[in-house]
Amino acid sequence: MPPDSSQTPGKIQGSPTHSKFYHSGSITCRLPVYSPDSRSSFSSGSTEHSVSTATSSTATASSPPRQCLYGGSWNGNRCICKPGTTGQNCEFLVYSFPIETPELVNATVTMIVKVTHRSFTNDLIDESSPMYLNFTEAFKKRMDEVFKGPTLSEYKEVIIRNLANGSIVVTSDVVLETNYIPQYKALFSNLTKIVRAKIINETSSFEDDDVKCQVSKLCYNAQDTVVNEAVVKTNFDPQEQCIQKAAEGFGQYYYAEELDGQLTCVTRCTQGWKGHLNCNLGECQLQRSGPHCLCPNTDSHWYWGETCELTISKNLVYGLVGAVLAVLLVIVLTLAVFLGRSQRRLHSQEYNLSQEWQKEGLPGSFQNTGIWEDKNLQDRYGLENVYSHFQPSLETVNPMAELHFRRPEVVQTTR
């Protein structure tokens, strides 16, 4: 059976800048094109092409050996990929691949019965003695008559494992065999119930003739009859196949499940089975840490969350950001206007002249005519600085001296 006949490809670590879809037969391969610095982004664009379903790609004879990833091996001219991978370098993971099933499966049901009216002797210990051979042949012949029939068509034979003392205690295995079906364990469980019912019915029959029980008929003690559960004896272990065939380091994320009527190794990224991870509009990707959802980033929305269940419109975000920036701008402008006014008011108070210069003087004195109140002069000559350093010296002034001023005369001129 070709290992890739129903494989579902996945993606490798890293993230594609865009994707290419390949489809051939029942296989759809998505082969991402990766950029060197890409991380976990997602793109929904795709193009379909046809490719072969083989798990290894042939290289030219002159090409140097490639590094085969995920446990693949180089055979001299190509990478031989494990069933869980594909690609020229085995770089792509597949999310499902079929399990190789046996044609037949068998199980054994161990039962213990006590044959009465017969004595256990040392001859029954020797498997080559006539007594041992005669007894075991009679026992197996009777068991064939008990179990064979349309209600137990899976019956194959009875194998005697041990004879013990206590009349004769027979430990034997009832061998059941059937064609493989995915529900074979449930089938054997039901067949065990049929085996138990048949042997209990056999050992519960009562025989009055003790001589017949000693010579020609097997008689039993029904209370000593024991039937164990069926034990499936096969090397077939589907879960172990999944672990062994999966890409190196990913075996713990694969499970043996029935998919489309066939036993298949699947992951939570495999579509079509009840346990798959629903990523909504995102895409499931199997990584070293397990399956994860890669959320899309479209032209109109952002998606996030463990299963890409959360979404928000880009236009809404842009509108909210714009509104917040507008409010902040208005606040900044308002604060700037108030700060400017307060600075001008403070500056005006700092350059305000003394109130003494604003009052009318006494007769014979001079008064401020407002010339020094001119704002330009204040700024030009720095009156604040002059006043702050003005320290008059009155030590040599005679307060008793009389000052005489000539009365000013008005002179008129003619033109």
DSSP output for 36-91: TT--S-------EE-----SS-BPPTTSPPP---TT-EE-SSBEE--TTEESTTS-
Q: Is there a single domain that holds both residue 217 and residue 111? A: yes
Supply the DSSP symbol for 120.
Answer: -
Distant-in-sequence, close-in-space partners of 336: CB < 8 Å, separation ≥ 6: none
**Contact between residue 231 and residue 241 where contact means Cβ atoms under 8 Å apart:** no
**Contact between residue 149 and residue 140 where contact means Cβ atoms under 8 Å apart:** no
Distance CA 92, CA 21 (A): 13
Say if 335 falls within a structural domain.
yes
Q: Is there a single domain that holds both residue 274 and residue 343? A: no
Distance of CA 153 to the CA centre of its chain: 46
Q: Is there a single domain that holds both residue 185 and residue 108? A: yes
Q: Is there a single domain that holds both residue 80 and residue 46? A: yes
What are residue 182's phi and psi, to 5 degrees? -60, -25
Coarse DSSP helix, strand, coil percentages of the chain, rounded to the nearest 5 percent:
30, 25, 45
Name the domain count of the chain: 4
Instruction: Give the pLDDT of residue 172.
Output: 96
Say if 407 falls within a structural domain.
no
Token duo for residue 390? 């003005």
Say if 394 falls within a structural domain.
no
Q: Which of 20, 18, 25 is nearest to 8 (CA)?
A: 25
Distance CA 271, CA 182 (A): 19
Q: Is there a single domain that holds both residue 62 and residue 117? A: no
Instruction: Give the pLDDT of residue 142.
Output: 94
| b/e per residue 313-322 (b: at least 16 CB within 10 A) | eeeeeeeeee
| b/e per residue 228-241 (b: at least 16 CB within 10 A) | eebeeeeebebeeb
Say if 165 falls within a structural domain.
yes
Token duo for residue 9? 């490809």
Distance CA 413, CA 159 (A): 158
Q: Is there a single domain that holds both residue 71 and residue 55? A: yes
Token duo for residue 238? 């589907």
Q: Is there a single domain that holds both residue 20 and residue 86? A: yes
Say if 402 falls within a structural domain.
no
Q: Is there a single domain that holds both residue 224 and residue 114? A: yes
Query: pTM to 2 decimals?
Result: 0.51
Q: Is there a single domain that holds both residue 182 and residue 197? A: yes
- CATH number, domain of 204, equals 3.30.70.960
Say if 410 falls within a structural domain.
no
Q: Where are the beta strands (DSSP E) in 76-181?
A: 79-80, 85-86, 92-98, 104-116, 155-165, 168-179
Q: Is there a single domain that holds both residue 72 and residue 55? A: yes
Please give the average pLDDT of every successive group of 10 residues along the chain, which has 415 residues.
43 37 34 35 34 40 74 88 87 89 91 93 93 95 94 95 94 94 88 95 88 89 90 82 87 89 90 88 90 87 87 81 90 88 73 48 49 52 56 73 76 69
Distance CA 195, CA 197 (A): 5
Q: Which domain holds residue 334?
A: 316-350
